[in-house]
Structure 1
Amino acid sequence: MVREWSADYGMLYGSVGLARVHSRQRLTVWRWDGDIEDAVLIVSELTTNAVSHGRVADLPMRLRLALLEDECLVIDVSDPVPAFPRFDEVIKAGPEDERGRGLHLMRQFGGEVTWFLQESGGKTVRALLQPREAQPFAAQ
């Protein structure tokens, strides 16, 4: 890991906008070579999902951004709920499905989305984004 930043946010929808602002600032300062706006949109989707589905009274969510040596960006959003019901169904959702549209959108932007349990309790949903030069060529 080359760079890392994290912050805790209250489980409020207002925190989503704050997480977007902080993420855009951090990635700009780092001069990340990926699409910063796509990354910020993914942060927005993950934090919105955490507020919607992972809220526990008086417990925060955590946003973590990390740049790896190969310039891949790791976006982690952790919440206190130790489950992701039907992840396998939701991750395969398409744009017309009722659930999972945000995860579908993340995959369209090239994000690899996974999740795992935290040792301290709760879960982390992770998106991995490639820098621009590492993204596969899109046919016109």
Structure 2
Amino acid sequence: MSATVVLLALQDEPEEMPRYQWGTKLLANAAAGPDARLRVRPRLTMARWAGDVDAAGQVSDKLVHNAAHHGKSFSDGCIDLRLTVHTETEVLRIEADDADPAFADFDMATSTPPHGSGLWWVQHYGAHLSWDVKRDEDGRVVGKTVTAILHPTGEGDQA
């Protein structure tokens, strides 16, 4: 008995385009957090995001503030902020990038009640937090990305 083996090329399923995407660079200074909040709120309002736009603005403020004050700016003196709204679920992904690839005490910063910890407040607003190193196109580590995920209906709320 013989068998015939046919190799078929794997087809990548197309990635779903997000319903909304926006990004900007912000100067890594004392105004970075409030600047992020003031930019995010009208963008999400115009995008008709189904979640709490004020909470998303506050979360963006905290992520950007932490990146500017505890991370390291890129060579242009800026940090990056991105918003992505998933098409079907309306889940909002907020990402802040800085040039420092380390995040010492992430677990403590996100679990300790508020003693100046902006990341604890991010979770208080119902966001799920994570972080990872940021790599360039060649795979070199160039910093980190801190991500907050917000659900539009508050299903992720921990408060």
- TM-score normalised by the chain length of structure 1: 0.87
Instruction: Please give the alpha-carbon distance, in whole angstroms, between the structure 2 residues aligned to 1:83 and 1:30.
Output: 33
Q: Which has the higher helix share?
A: 1
When the two chains are superposed, the root-mean-square deviation of aligned CA atoms in Å is 2.1
State the percentage of identical aligned residues: 31
Query: Structure 1 pair 4/89, CA: closer, same or farther in 2 (3 Å)?
Result: same
1:10 to 7, 27, 30: 27
2:108 to 73, 89, 104: 89
Query: Structure 1 pair 62/137, CA: closer, same or farther in 2 (3 Å)?
Result: closer
Partner of 2:124: 108
Residue pair 1:50, 1:78 contacting (<8 A) in 2 also: yes
Unaligned runs of 5+ in 1: none
Paired positions, count: 135
Matched, 1:130 2:158: no
Larger Rg: 2
Q: Counterparts in 2 of 1:45-124, with a 5 A limit?
A: 45-56=62-73, 58-69=76-87, 70-95=89-114, 97=115, 101-120=117-136, 121-124=142-145
Instruction: Please give the alpha-carbon distance, in whole angstroms, between the structure 2 residues aligned to 1:87 and 1:126.
Output: 12
Deviations 1:47-84 (A, max 9, x none): 11111111346431000000012100000000011110
- TM-score normalised by the chain length of structure 2: 0.77
